[in-house]
Chains A and B, each alone.
Chain A
Amino acid sequence: MSAYIIRRMLYAIPILIGINLITFVLFFVVNSPDDMALMQLGSKHTTELQIEDWKRERGYHLPLLYNAEQSGLAAVTETIFYQKSAKLFVFDFGSSDSGRDIGYDISQRMWPSLALAIPTLLVGLLVTITLALTIAFFRGTYIDYWAVIICVALISISSLFYIIGGQFLIGKLLKIVPISGFDTGLHALKFMILPVLIGIVGGIGSNTRWYRTIFLEEINKDYVRTARSKGLSEQMVLFKHVLRNALIPILTGVVVVLPLLFMGSLLTENFFGIPGLGSYTIDAINRQDFAIVRAMVFLGSVLYIIGLVLTDISYTLVDPRIRLS
């Protein structure tokens, strides 16, 4: 087992290198640091000197891959690639274009993102699995037919409207909870209710439909027929046999997103002013802070790959038929 896990993790290394190269090419080769400087300083009335200073302050003045002025190892280390890209591998994100330490910011902003994402995921799972099981119970009837249509309609609503609608209805019209903001500790609770609720409602359409197909696939299998022919009641069949077996694909599907929960939700955090990593990213995009965007691209990819590895492992754990080859 541990050999398998180690092999699986080694397999991730070339992918990480690939991602690193892509971000390097995107951020430093396609556009030179001069272009970035011009963009930040404005193209009019900007002197060469100002551009040089801007680049020097942020360490962009070095050559890209090979520093001919240095000798020995320094020829490789005193380059943008080593300083900015290679260091990402050890999670040294450096400082943002405005001079803040990105690693520190991430470690601070991770927690509000998690505080929002975890309840959304858990309660959402509970709600959608319940709904999907109910629909599966009524399969083939008008309830099933209309439930699927409602799910399609819910999928067709842009996530923007869920947020705007929720803010308007609950925050502004009914004035139950504050529209946006955040607080420390337990006081954060009243700010969390609305975004969590909207996150859950926004996911109902697609997840319920998806889980319904999983349940229906499971219901048509032979062991279910056996269970029925034993004389078990429909409820018993659904809860004891179908639900348990259908949970395998559902939960392994959830595993892949677990690490990404750290990244937070871009839209929700932005709308509700929650100081998580999602709003951090959006702010960076709007301020055109390339250092932060680069760090987040790499972090997101790493988390995704961890999710893939975890998924593989969880498959082998829940399904003994899958051999570790």
Chain B
Amino acid sequence: MSIQPTFLITDLLFFALTISLIAFVFVVRKRPHLSRPWSQVLKSTTGSVSLMILLFYYAIALVDSVHFHPRVAQATESQYQYSSEVHSLLDVLMTPMRSRMEKTFSAPLATHSFAKEMMQNEAGQLQRDYPRLNYGGAHLAQPEDQKAADIISISLQASAQALFYWALIWLFMLWLYSQRNNQGLATLLANVLKAKTTYPLRAIAITSAVLMLLTVVSMQLGQHYHLFGTDKVGQDVFYQAVKSVRTGILIGVLTTLITLPLAILLGALAGFFRGWVDDVIQYIYTTLNSIPHVLLIAAAVLLLQVYMSGHADDFDSLTERADLRLLFLCLILGITSWTGLCRLLRAETFKLREMEYIQAAEAFGVSKFKILMRHVMPNFMHIVIISVVLDFSGLVLAEAVLSYINIGVDPSMNSWGNMINQARLEMARDPIVWWSLSAAFVFMFTLVLFANLFADVVRDALDPRVVRGEQ
């Protein structure tokens, strides 16, 4: 083995969550009353297109969560030495972009540095000029004349490649589909083109084509150029932005691991047992909710910093430390955000408890625990799902703001908030260094926008009544 696999805690949780998501999909597929609203989501063009883009982001985060220590040198025949650095599968896929460091800033697709430097020209005189980049466009002899043509030719080749494979995959899938449904491939194709299929296959096809084009073209261009330029220390901005996907997604999904158990358990208990149980639980969430969330998070993260600076020896590597901080951030975000859902679930349990079928179950002597598990909880799950999907985009946005105030993820971790934070200091430069900000903006905006659109569709499909008036 030339690598030594390693699992960060967040990786394990993320994988566990992914497996339970897949299990959830299987459970839902088997039960018609559960799968009906979801098929409504998939039948809406907005729903399936946004889901596809979200899955794309999710896949990047998954690939970026497979971590290992690369092997550095062979000490003896049988003993390998592993680097203390932690790499992910995504790093391997993006190797040239990760390792090709420039000296400092360079504009997107530039061949020359952003800042002038003292250099020796051919005549041996010193003069100030823009030096060539170490890697960006290094294969060109005359960058001024060749660059545009080179970029166009790489992009065209990559696009042709991408579209070819895309067409191949889609034809194969449609052929499979037509075989299974005893439908002619030609009629199926015609239906897809006319958007007359049950599910919006045409929109999905177009989205997948766009995603494929963007991926292949950016990867191919990234081999020779810095697609989004480089930052202050010369790191590829495109690489940073892609690496930040994992942070954003993880904050959005791992937080639910804290919110859901708390909200479901306490909400159901409060609504079901009422009396002093209800009073205590209401007291807990009103108190927690009264503390301004940013300040509570700030206090908690400050205390974490105190702890970490006092116990610096407990962490094997910087990555591990940053990882724990990310986990802690999810924890504290979860603690501040379960109250809203808990209140909704409490009210819903209140309502459900008065229903005749629950009273019937009680009359039959079904135990309270069983009533809660089998008759109450399944009936408010739609609220849980809606709330999870609605909260996701807010959490991604919160990460950026928190990182900006220095109470977010570790400064060494790639995240959109950190990118904005670092880039903001360069706003005063003239000409302005805009590419870090733009890259963070494009990646974050796309994720949050489609998460919001998806949430709207899910909400409408699962239950049009609830959470409507909420912001």
Which residues in A have some Cβ–Cβ distance to B below 8 Å?
Answer: 14-15, 18-19, 22-23, 26-27, 30-31, 35-36, 38-39, 43, 152-153, 155-161, 164, 167-168, 172, 206, 210, 213-214, 217, 249, 260, 263, 266-267, 270, 281-282, 285-286, 288, 290, 293-294, 296-297, 300-301, 304-305, 308
Given known contacts A18-B283, A160-B401, A305-B290, is B302 in contact with A285 (CB within 8 Å)?
Answer: yes
Output the nearest chain B residue to A300 by Cβ-Cβ distance: B292
* Sample of 5 more A-B contacts, CB < 8 Å, known A38-B306, A285-B298, A293-B299: A15-B287, A27-B299, A152-B452, A161-B441, A300-B291
Output the nearest chain B residue to A11 by Cβ-Cβ distance: B286
Asked if B393 is at the interface of the complex by the 8 Å CB criterion, the answer is yes
Let me know if B299 and A168 touch, CB within 8 A: no
Cα distance A22–B437 when bound, in Å? 38
Cα distance A213–B464 when bound, in Å? 12
Cα distance A96–B149 when bound, in Å? 62
Cα distance A249–B72 when bound, in Å? 64
* Shortest CB distance A264–B (Å): 11
Cα distance A22–B287 when bound, in Å? 9
Let me know if A160 and B420 touch, CB within 8 A: yes
Let me know if A286 and B406 touch, CB within 8 A: yes
Cα distance A286–B405 when bound, in Å? 8
14 contacts between A and B (CB under 8 A): A15-B286, A22-B288, A26-B299, A27-B299, A30-B303, A31-B307, A39-B306, A152-B453, A157-B441, A160-B400, A161-B420, A286-B406, A300-B295, A301-B291
Let me know if A213 and B469 touch, CB within 8 A: yes
Cα distance A34–B401 when bound, in Å? 30
Output the nearest chain B residue to A286 by Cβ-Cβ distance: B406
Asked if B228 is at the interface of the complex by the 8 Å CB criterion, the answer is no
- Interface flags, B273-317, vs A, CB<8A=1, else 0: 000000000010011101110111011101101110110100000
- The residues of A that contact B417 with a CB separation of less than 8 Å are 160
Let me know if B449 and A39 touch, CB within 8 A: no
Given known contacts A158-B397, A213-B469, A288-B302, is B437 in contact with A164 (CB within 8 Å)?
Answer: yes
Let me know if A43 and B290 touch, CB within 8 A: no
* Shortest CB distance A51–B (Å): 12
Pick the residue among B294, B310, B456 that contacts A35 (CB under 8 A): B310
Let me know if A35 and B307 touch, CB within 8 A: yes
- The residues of B that contact A281 with a CB separation of less than 8 Å are 295, 298
Asked if B350 is at the interface of the complex by the 8 Å CB criterion, the answer is no
Asked if B26 is at the interface of the complex by the 8 Å CB criterion, the answer is no
Let me know if B445 and A156 touch, CB within 8 A: yes
* Shortest CB distance A203–B (Å): 11
Let me know if A160 and B303 touch, CB within 8 A: no
Asked if B404 is at the interface of the complex by the 8 Å CB criterion, the answer is yes
* Shortest CB distance A25–B (Å): 10
Residues of chain B from 438 to 460 with CB closer than 8 A to chain A in the complex = 441, 444-445, 448-449, 451-453, 456
Measured as residues with beta carbon below 8 angstroms from the partner, the interface class of chain B is 35 or more
- The residues of B that contact A27 with a CB separation of less than 8 Å are 299, 303
Let me know if A217 and B444 touch, CB within 8 A: no
- The residues of A that contact B302 with a CB separation of less than 8 Å are 285, 288, 290, 293
Cα distance A39–B416 when bound, in Å? 28
Asked if B407 is at the interface of the complex by the 8 Å CB criterion, the answer is yes
Output the nearest chain B residue to A149 by Cβ-Cβ distance: B453
- The residues of B that contact A23 with a CB separation of less than 8 Å are 299
Output the nearest chain B residue to A270 by Cβ-Cβ distance: B405
- The residues of B that contact A153 with a CB separation of less than 8 Å are 449
Asked if B351 is at the interface of the complex by the 8 Å CB criterion, the answer is no
Given known contacts A210-B471, A296-B295, is B444 in contact with A158 (CB within 8 Å)?
Answer: yes
Most chain A CB neighbours (cut-off 10 Å) among B290, B312, B448? B290
Let me know if A35 and B299 touch, CB within 8 A: no
Let me know if B292 and A156 touch, CB within 8 A: no
Let me know if B469 and A304 touch, CB within 8 A: no
Cα distance A297–B294 when bound, in Å? 9
Output the nearest chain A residue to B297 by Cβ-Cβ distance: A285
Cα distance A271–B397 when bound, in Å? 17
Output the nearest chain B residue to A267 by Cβ-Cβ distance: B401
Let me know if B427 and A39 touch, CB within 8 A: no
Let me know if A263 and B292 touch, CB within 8 A: yes
Residues of chain B from 397 to 429 with CB closer than 8 A to chain A in the complex = 397, 400-401, 404-407, 416-417, 420, 424, 427
Asked if B370 is at the interface of the complex by the 8 Å CB criterion, the answer is no
Cα distance A158–B421 when bound, in Å? 13
Cα distance A249–B427 when bound, in Å? 41
Output the nearest chain A residue to B311 by Cβ-Cβ distance: A35
Output the nearest chain B residue to A297 by Cβ-Cβ distance: B295
Asked if B432 is at the interface of the complex by the 8 Å CB criterion, the answer is yes
Most chain B CB neighbours (cut-off 10 Å) among A155, A249, A263? A155
Let me know if B310 and A43 touch, CB within 8 A: yes
Let me know if B303 and A18 touch, CB within 8 A: no
Let me know if A164 and B283 touch, CB within 8 A: no
Given known contacts A156-B445, A158-B400, A285-B407, is B295 in contact with A38 (CB within 8 Å)?
Answer: no
Let me know if B305 and A19 touch, CB within 8 A: no
- The residues of B that contact A206 with a CB separation of less than 8 Å are 471
Output the nearest chain A residue to B393 by Cβ-Cβ distance: A156
Given known contacts A156-B445, A293-B295, A296-B295, is B290 in contact with A19 (CB within 8 Å)?
Answer: yes
Asked if B194 is at the interface of the complex by the 8 Å CB criterion, the answer is no
Cα distance A286–B427 when bound, in Å? 21
Cα distance A172–B431 when bound, in Å? 11
Let me know if B445 and A285 touch, CB within 8 A: no
Let me know if B469 and A217 touch, CB within 8 A: yes
Output the nearest chain A residue to B404 by Cβ-Cβ distance: A160
- The residues of A that contact B31 with a CB separation of less than 8 Å are none
